[in-house]
Amino acid sequence: MNRLPDSELIMIPGGTLITDSPEKGRELAMLIARHTIHNIQPDLDVLKEGRKIYSIDPASLIAASQVVAIEFQTIAAANNYWRRDKK
C-alpha cells in the first residue's frame, strides 16, 4: 500500500474549528472532508484512481460539495458565523 503521510491523516488540521475568516473556515471544511476520506482509504494509489472517476462525474462532484457544505455548517456555527467581520 502506498500509504498517505501522517499529515494527511490528521482529522482536524490545525486542531481547532476556529478560523480568522469565512474563507479560512471554508478551506478547513474542505480539508476536513478530504482527510476523512483519507482516514477511510489511506492508500494514495486507490485515491488517485478514484479521483479520475469522481472528478469528471457531475453527480459525484455535487455529492462531494454537499459534504463540504455540512462540514462548513459546523465550522460556521463554531465561529458564530464570523459576524464581527460584517462589512
Please name the residue that has the C-alpha cell 488540521: 13
Among 2, 3, 48, 69, interactor with its own copies by CB under 8 A? 69
Q: Does the protein bind its own copies through residue 62 (CB under 8 A)? A: yes
Q: How far is the CB of 3 from its own copies (least distance, A)?
A: 14
Where do contacts with its own copies occur on this chain (CB under 8 A)?
A: 10-12, 14-18, 21-23, 25-27, 30, 32-33, 36-37, 39-41, 46, 49-51, 53-74, 76-78, 81-83, 85-87
